[in-house]
Structure 1
Amino acid sequence: MGAADAVPGVSGGTIALITGIYDRLIAAFTSASPALVRRVLADLVRDRGDLRTVFREVDGAFLLALGAGIATAILTVTRALDTALETMPVLTYGFFFGLIAASAVVLRDEVSLDTLGRAAAGVTGVVVAFVASGSASAALGESLAATFLAGAVAVSAMILPGISGSLLLVILGQYERMTGALSAFVDALLALVTGGSVATVVDTAGPVVAFLAGGVVGLLTVAHAIRAALEARRAATLAFLVGLIVGALRAPVARVTEEVGAWTGGVLAEFAVAAVVGALLVAGVERAAGGIDLD
């Protein structure tokens, strides 16, 4: 799931479906709530023995094992992608374009636009993502507050097969920044082991801590809001979410334009080949999952 979540267009939720842990994942995620957090804080003060009960209620052992695996994969995959974005931006963003496009195709059967409201939701999703992903510099920005918000939105996407948290980071203009920030933070930690400076660790920790804090809040709030929206207006919510994917196709194109300035025949060919590879990867994952069903 960590490897999938690190790549825009590939959903960790889909991997959870393939491996048969999706229902358990959803139960564990949605068991976390502000009320549970208050209960844990109270238990820390008066009754630490009850913490074991809370740990079992949220399927803590499962989440710890899953979290360790996700973290390990993200640390390795994001480093590779950070290097690829710096050295091969056209190929990398072309690959992302194929991933995103294929994800929209895979989810086509989940979308119904048979009413005006659903069609409006889908169009709204396309427009929001298209406008937001036009330029990295025009997106959320680089403040810690923006990073916090990006973490909340991206992590909450883990509850939906077919919706990629990294794709949402691309839309928000945070993907390249966060892969770089995570690589810098890990480098600082590794350097600390060999005599590096603690100050460097502190300097690079800000974006990572803000993103993780946003992720925790996202699981406690945004994920529940998405789940409530799906229960109340499932068809319209799915139309909006898939609309986001379609609109996000602008993001890789815009990033390549920022990198190369003008599109040449060579750039287009390079981009297209990488896009085909990305699309084939999503098709293979979807085939392994036996098709994505969001019901």
Structure 2
Amino acid sequence: MSREPNGGEAPTAPESARQGAPSATADSFRGWLGIYLTGLCMGAADMVPGVSGGTIALVTGIYERLVTAIAALDPRVIAEFPAARTAAGRRRLRETFVGMDVPFLLVLGAGIGTAVLVLSRLLEAAFEEYLVLLSAFFFALMAASAAIIYRDVTLETPAQYAAGAVGIVIAFALSGAAESSGGGSLPFVALSGMIAISAMVLPGISGAAFLYVLGQYEYLVGSLNDFVDALAGLLVGGDVAAAVGPGTVVVAFMVGAVVGLLTMARVVKWALSRYRIATLAFLVGLMVGALRLPVEEAAAETTRVTPGLVAAIVAAGAIGAGAIVALDRYTGSLDYA
């Protein structure tokens, strides 16, 4: 058993949450590959407003292990790093990481990161060339997600209705402000990362949807692609300065995401355990209020309405709503209440 920096026992994931965990042997490759592929699916889902990576984790059977591993993360382990200069120190540090299920999180995170890097390029091109259709697709995703979650949430008290109304008002106002901002300050980017990562671990709640609500979605996708391009340019003699701007944005988001995992994810979990219906009503309200943004973006981009455009918008919306309905049916109607 490894030790925490304060001398206590290091946090260990419950056995039930670690059943089926791959061992660090050669024959565990298929297990780790399965976790990586699950991460790919989660990352793809997290890139789309309205679809939750947490739902994918639930469908694939790793949700409990994921939540347990996140809750077990303890920043005090940093104090053990100096002891890694010795063989015994490295062994204790390795045991601590295994106890917190860090290898699982790293492999899963690698899959999520791969999907994000690939899809960010496609989405940036879609924003430039097919903004109207993408807005219709996102509108349908978010509307269908809100409808499905609301279907399973019964509002009974004025406070619960008020929570939903507050969510609608906040998202509606933020969507209007975000429409013209095109980005945000670094503290706001970090705050967006905290909010998004907290939502991403919840089945049915989309972290990307809240980035969209905050007006950071397209901005962050573009910043990530610019940063990757700048890093690639360094290999052929490019300018380091080109990577500083977008890299700062990416780092700010990642810092916010890490802080969110260690703090806000626990706050959300507490809120759901104490005020589950009101919390879900608030989250659904945010999605409903955010529908303002794709509508206004599509309207601003449309100069002439034609039957072909209308048909394409309807088709994009049908695909988005159909994807959510199919996922909900496949998961057997997740119990949000």
Q: Structure 2 vs 1, CA of residues 239 and 140 (structure 1 numbering), >3 Å: closer, same or farther? A: farther
Look up the match of 1:56. Answer: 98
2:264 paired residue number = 222
Counterpart of 1:184 (choices 208, 222, 226) is: 226
Aligned pair 1:240/2:282, yes or no?
yes
In structure 1, stretches of 5+ residues that fail to align are none
TM-score (norm 1): 0.92
Give the percent of matched residue pairs that are identical in Structure 1 and Structure 2. Answer: 49
> 2:109 is matched with which residue?
67
Does 2:81 correspond to 1:44? yes
More displaced, 73-82 or 188-197? 188-197
1:165 is matched with 207
Q: 2:165 aligns with which of 110, 114, 123?
A: 123
1:63-106: per-residue Cα shift (whole Å, max 9, x none)?
A: 01100000000001111011100111001111101111111122
Q: Does 1:97 align with 2:139?
A: yes
- 1:24 maps to amino acid: R
Give yes or no for contact 1:132–1:139 (8 Å, CA) kept in 2. no
Corresponding residue for 2:197? 155
Q: Secondary structure at the match of 1:134?
A: helix
Question: 2: CA distance between counterparts of 1:150 and 1:284?
Answer: 29
Give the residue type in structure 1 aligned to 2:256: G
Provide the C-alpha distance between the structure 2 equivalents of 1:244 and 1:114, rounded to a whole number of angstroms: 19
> Helix, strand or coil for the counterpart of 1:241?
helix
1:137–1:173 Cα contact (<8 Å) kept: yes
CA positional deviation for 1:200: 1.8
1:23 and 2:64 aligned: yes
The separation in 1 between residues aligned to 2:152 and 2:264, in whole angstroms, is 22
CA distance in 1, matches of 2:178, 2:51: 21
> How far 1:155 moved relative to its partner?
0.8
Q: Which moved more, 1:82-91 or 1:199-208?
A: 199-208
Distance 2:81 2:120 in 1: 35
Q: Unaligned regions of 5+ residues in structure 2, if any? A: 1-41
Answer whether contact 2:163 2:279 (CA < 8 A) is retained: yes
Q: Conserved in 2, the CA contact under 8 Å of 1:111 and 1:242?
A: no
Please report how far the alpha carbon of residue 140 of structure 1 lies from its aligned counterpart in structure 2 after TM superposition. Answer: 9.0
Deviation at 1:159, TM superposition (A): 1.8
Letter in structure 2 aligned against 1:144? L
The 5-angstrom pairing of residues 259-274 of structure 1 reads 259-260=301-302, 264-266=305-307, 267-274=309-316
Q: Distance in 1 between matches of 2:45 and 2:250?
A: 19
In the TM superposition, residue 242 of structure 1 has moved relative to its aligned partner by: 1.3
- Contact conserved, 1:95 with 1:274, CA < 8 A, in 2? yes
- Aligned residue pairs total 290
C-alpha displacement of 1:239? 1.1
Q: Given the superposition, is the C-alpha separation of residues 54 and 294 from structure 1 closer, same or farther in structure 2, using an over 3 Å criterion?
A: farther
Q: 1:9-45: CA deviations, max 9, x gaps? A: 111011111111111111111222xxx21x2222123
Contact 1:8 1:165 in 2 (8 A): yes
One-letter code aligned to 1:278: G
